Amino acid sequence: MKLKLDETILRCRREKNLTQEELAAALGVSPQSISNWEHGGYPDIELLPSIANYFGITVDELIGNDKISVEEDIAAFPGKYYAVTGEERLRLALAYYRKYPNNFNIMELLACVITYGGFSKSAVYRKLLGEVCGRIIGECTDAGIRENAIYYMCRVADGEEFERWCAMLPVSFGLTYHETKEHHFWENGNTAEARRLYGRNNTALLLHFTCRDYHADGDAVCAEVNSLFRMKLLACGENGVVPDGFLGQYAYYRLCHASALFGCGRTEEGFEELEGAVDDYLRSYDLPDDVPLPLGPDELFGGIRCIRQRKEGKFDRFVYEDGTPVDYPPGGSYHLDPSALYDMLTHGDFSSPWFDWWFGAVQDDERFLAQVRRVKTYMDNYRR
């Protein structure tokens, strides 16, 4: 049953044991306004995010939208986010942040577009980025989201602020703590825990290396070498097969490799790699959510599996064989919505540290257009 706004405000005020005067002072309005809202009146729409944030609820919950609708709307956000680019992506992220000011996944993607979209050059958005990342550090417990927030600020900050944010990078980012712990287990005869941590450290190292920034900066030869090397690292299954847990990430670098080959003038190789990249991407989209996917030999990765969470709009998570979560790494397998692949093929302004868009040389070629149509058809069916 949906609640009315007046009932929600009255209930939340009483739960906090506040008088109308105390709530009015906290929100910067008159006590008469609070009384009016609790008797059927409606605040100015600009006040809704502040009221919702004060009570620790979403705007939808404040005005009475049911929980299922809210969850469905939030789950749909990542797909909408990756389907657009530039200022349209920023506007969408801002709109969702205003609706759900306490959702950390939305905060993280808003911070991402401000950082990578170049919007931090604006004083307004630079301030907003600092506020969002500050809230994440102060309130969020998700290690992956926290590390991303720190990294975004390290990219845009200068001087003492840069040093302050860098100091927040956890020790586990360099794996010093966990590798020391692994050696401790070995030396003290705790073989089971040592092997478990060995697999975790190998997983983290591989993902750290394959996910760390490389800026091609217009150099197609360097981009070709780097993308191919990352592909080889991810093809760690038996006889060089790419494990399902790394397939999405492998497909991404294969697409980067195809683009770089076109940039090098190696057109025929580029088309062969492009077709393979699309094949791998579409196959990765057909892999199920919530099913543990292998990463490679258990002797290397300790039986750790990757679990996709696309339907929930979250990063992949990693678990041991017994189902317990791996504390690190956070998501990093590039299981993106098909609209993101379509975006990479059709938008020359696609923003990524690893990806330079050399498809312009072949974008009118029928072989390229055929791959775009494949992705578009899959994307349209995927949305239904």
- Which DSSP string do the residues of 60-94 spell out, in sequence order? HHHHT--HHHHHHHHHHHHHHHHTS-HHHHHHHHH
Which tokens go with 194? 């040592």
**H-only helix segments in 83-142:** 86-99, 104-116, 123-139
Lowest mean pLDDT across 52-56, 77-81, 329-333: 329-333
Please report which confidence band the pLDDT of residue 383 belongs to, taking 50, 70 and 90 as the band edges. Answer: low
Average pLDDT, the chain: 84
Interval 273-301: pLDDT, tens: 999 999 999 998 888 888 899 999 999 99
Contacts of 68 (CB under 8 A, 6+ apart): none
Position 312 scores a pLDDT of 64
Cβ proximity of 260 and 223 under 8 Å:
yes
Which tokens go with 339? 């609209």
Name the strands in the sheet holding 317-319, side by side, starting at the edge strand that comes first in the sequence: 293-294, 305-307, 317-319
Cβ proximity of 278 and 286 under 8 Å:
no
Position 176 scores a pLDDT of 56
DSSP for 148-205, written as a single string: HHHHHHHHH--HHHHHHHHTTS-GGGTTHHHHHHHHHHHHTT-HHHHHHHHHHHHHHH
The pLDDT of residue 3 is above 50: no
**Between residues 302 and 315, the one the model is more confident about:** 302
The pLDDT of residue 335 is above 60: no
Q: What's the CA gap between 243 and 296, in Å, rounded?
A: 6
Cβ proximity of 287 and 306 under 8 Å:
no
DSSP for 304-337, written as a single string: -EEE--GGGT---EEE-TTSPBPSS----S----
CB atoms within 10 A of CB 342: 18
CA quadruple 168, 172, 178, 179: dihedral sign:
negative
CB atoms within 10 A of CB 350: 17
Position 133 scores a pLDDT of 96
Which tokens go with 275? 């077709």
Cβ proximity of 244 and 294 under 8 Å:
yes
SS3 (DSSP) at 11? helix
CB atoms within 10 A of CB 225: 13
SS3 (DSSP) at 297? coil
| Furthest CA-CA distance within the chain | 74
Position 1 scores a pLDDT of 32
SS3 (DSSP) at 344? helix
Give φ, ψ of 7 to 5 degrees.
Answer: -70, -40
Lowest mean pLDDT across 27-41, 89-103, 108-122, 323-337: 323-337
Whole-structure pTM value:
0.61
Position 70 scores a pLDDT of 74
Give the residue among 271, 277, 275 at the shortest CA–CA distance from 227.
277
Position 384 scores a pLDDT of 47
Interval 339-381: pLDDT, tens: 888 888 887 655 565 567 899 889 999 999 999 999 999 988 8
The pLDDT of residue 170 is above 50: yes
Position 175 scores a pLDDT of 47
**Between residues 221 and 56, the one the model is more confident about:** 221
Residues in the chain: 384
The pLDDT of residue 73 is above 70: yes
Please report which confidence band the pLDDT of residue 64 belongs to, taking 50, 70 and 90 as the band edges. Answer: low
Position 349 scores a pLDDT of 57
The CATH code of the domain at 5-63 is: 1.10.260.40
